[in-house]
Amino acid sequence: MGVKPLRIDLNADLGEGGPQDEALLTLVTSANIACGGHAGDRQSMLATVKLAKAHHVKVGAHPSYPDRANFGRLSIAIEAEPLFNSLLQQINALKAVCDELGVDLHHVKPHGALYNDAAQDPALGRILIRVIETINPTLKLMILAGSPLVMQARRAGLEVIEEAFADRGYLADGRLAPRSQPGALIEDAQKVLEQVSSIVEEQKVTAVTGESVSCHATSLCLHGDTPKALEFARAIRASLDH
């Protein structure tokens, strides 16, 4: 009899220079690997994809606005074609590593400010969709559950992975609370587990202002670059295994 699957896919953003990647890859089921826009280079991609392969973890590309100075966390003014070309180059860089190691590239999840912007902005969504169509239309797009980009991508024929966050606070409209806002980062293990349970069992989250927000997610993200990432990952994995 095989290993019982988790009740929801558990993913982490990796290959960003964090010290816990190897340990996290024993706990997650999907990895979003930085491919040069905000962090990462060929060496880090090779190392992370090798580890993902060894632990049978699905590999996704984690492209960003080309802004390493700000770790891709600021919205930047960039024309459509330069952004398209940057994203194409980033994802293809990881795909080349995957091809070299005999690993299927499974999905694309934008990083940071691009993730939040594209989830709401149809013009940015179209750029992401066009990049995926250019590289491989069967690549799945991982994006914020319930956001406008979910329907936009599905209308374009893409398969979408709707994502929720174990360790981030939400606004009442379903967007992630800005990192500058109180409650945006959940730093208590018990509160993380309560949010995970709410997402998995009830398909909802409680906003930082107290409202109940619908959240029909098929993947759950844990940020790999936070100090308690490993502690949280172990606790979440244990809760999902039962």
CATH code, 104: 3.20.20.370
Q: Is residue 199 part of a domain?
A: yes
Q: Is residue 3 part of a domain?
A: no
pLDDT reported for residue 25: 97
Q: Is residue 83 part of a domain?
A: yes
pLDDT reported for residue 224: 82
Mean pLDDT value of segment 117-129: 98
- Give the model confidence (pLDDT) of 149-179 as tens digits: 999 999 999 999 999 999 999 999 999 999 9
Q: Is residue 56 part of a domain?
A: yes
- Give the model confidence (pLDDT) of 197-228 as tens digits: 999 999 999 999 999 999 999 999 998 888 89
pTM: 0.96
Q: Is residue 2 part of a domain?
A: no
Question: Do 49 and 56 form a contact (C-beta atoms < 8 A)?
Answer: no
Query: Would the pLDDT of 194 be above 50?
Result: yes
Structural domain including 169 reads 9-240
Q: Is residue 28 part of a domain?
A: yes
Mean pLDDT value of segment 133-161: 98
Q: Is residue 4 part of a domain?
A: no
Mean pLDDT value of segment 181-187: 94
Cα gap 119→144, rounded to integer Å: 6
Q: Is residue 1 part of a domain?
A: no
Q: How far is CA 165 from CA 141, 154, 157, 194, 238, in A?
A: 16, 21, 25, 12, 17
Domain count, the chain: 1
Query: Would the pLDDT of 98 be above 50?
Result: yes
- Based on C-alpha coordinates, what's the Rg of the chain? 17
Query: Would the pLDDT of 1 be above 50?
Result: no
Query: 154 — alpha (psi -120 to 50), left (phi > 0) or beta?
Result: alpha
